[in-house]
């Protein structure tokens, strides 16, 4: 299972980070180990002083008759070590250390079947931080829609059942600090409540032991 993420898919967000609006989707990956287990804590990594929240529509992929389709939808967080990402971007290096670290991806528990939406239906979503709306978006604002994203990604890599497609974040990204309370809404319904927590113990044996305990393998069931 892989997490495929799209960057700069909302014009206002591309602008707020000083990026050009892309002519082709910006694609990057997170490994399965980035995924916060069900009901697990959001732990802010110790190597960054500027972790940003990015609320996104997340689609679970299914392959039917050899074709990848967006099967179910929910919201999630693409947590980003913005200070480190900026440094890597400046040096022209890959983003993984800033984007794919352990605990950098959160996905709400409950998915809605995409086929339950009428044709042309658009999905609105938002993130509150400490009770204030900080990000709100609408699937109609995406620069590349879901079929275009799937087609583009599949030019390069096959999408498989249960892969998760993060579709980019609207404007309003900002820092997430220890103690900040996040609430994620899709179609007006509260889908998650999470608090920013202290990092794992420093790198080393203790950290991995604690981490393994927190995450029995493949505990995060998607259906
Ligand atoms: Zn993102």
Note the pLDDT tens digit of each residue in 74-96.
Answer: 999 999 999 999 999 999 999 99
Q: Which residues contact 2 (CB under 8 A, 6 or more apart)?
A: 29, 30, 31, 32, 160, 163, 164
pLDDT higher than 50, residue 167 = yes
**Cross-strand bridge partners of residue 164:** 3, 60
Note the pLDDT tens digit of each residue in 171-189.
Answer: 999 999 999 999 999 999 9
183 neighbors 77 (Cβ within 8 angstroms): no
Q: What is the pLDDT of residue 142?
A: 95
Residue positions counted in the chain: 223
124 neighbors 187 (Cβ within 8 angstroms): yes
Alpha carbon distance 219, 103 (integer Å) = 14
Cα–ligand 1 centroid distance for 56 (angstroms): 7
Cα–ligand 1 centroid distance for 150 (angstroms): 16
Cα–ligand 1 centroid distance for 205 (angstroms): 30
H or E element, residue 195: strand 189-197
Other CB atoms within a 10 A radius of the CB of residue 94 amount to 12
Q: What is the mean pLDDT of the chain?
A: 90
For the chain, domain boundaries: 3-214
pLDDT higher than 80, residue 221 = no
Cα–ligand 1 centroid distance for 199 (angstroms): 21
| Mean pLDDT in residue range 158-165 | 98
Q: Which of 2-11, 18-27, 124-133 has the lowest mean pLDDT?
A: 18-27
3-214 — its CATH code? 3.90.850.10
Other CB atoms within a 10 A radius of the CB of residue 141 amount to 17
Q: Which residues contact 217 (CB under 8 A, 6 or more apart)?
A: none
Q: What is the pLDDT of residue 13?
A: 82
Query: Both ends of the chain: CA-CA distance in Å?
Result: 14
Cα–ligand 1 centroid distance for 68 (angstroms): 21
Cα–ligand 1 centroid distance for 79 (angstroms): 7
Q: What is the pLDDT of residue 206?
A: 52
């Amino acid at each position: 299972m892989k997490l495929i993420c799209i960057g700069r898919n909302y014009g206002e967000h591309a602008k707020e980070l000083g990026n050009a609006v892309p002519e082709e989707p910006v694609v990057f990956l997170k490994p399965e180990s980035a995924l916060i287990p069900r009901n697990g804590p959001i732990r802010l990594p110790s190597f960054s002083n500027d972790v940003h929240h990015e609320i996104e529509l997340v689609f679970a992929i299914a392959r039917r008759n050899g074709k990848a389709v967006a099967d179910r939808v929910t919201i999630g967080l693409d947590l980003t070590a913005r200070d480190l990402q900026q440094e890597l971007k400046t040096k022209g290096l890959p983003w993984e250390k800033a984007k794919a670290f352990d605990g950098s991806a959160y996905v709400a528990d409950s998915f809605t079947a995409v086929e339950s939406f009428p044709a042309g239906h658009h999905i609105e979503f938002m993130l509150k931080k400490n009770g204030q709306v900080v990000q709100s978006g609408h699937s109609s604002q995406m620069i590349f829609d879901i079929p275009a994203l799937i087609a583009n990604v599949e030019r390069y890599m096959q999408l498989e059942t249960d892969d998760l497609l993060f579709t980019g974040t609207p404007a309003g990204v900002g820092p997430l600090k220890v103690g900040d309370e996040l609430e994620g809404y899709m179609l007006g319904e509260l889908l998650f409540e999470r608090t920013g927590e202290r990092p794992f113990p420093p790198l080393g044996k203790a950290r991995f032991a604690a981490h393994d305990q927190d995450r029995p393998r493949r505990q995060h069931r998607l259906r």
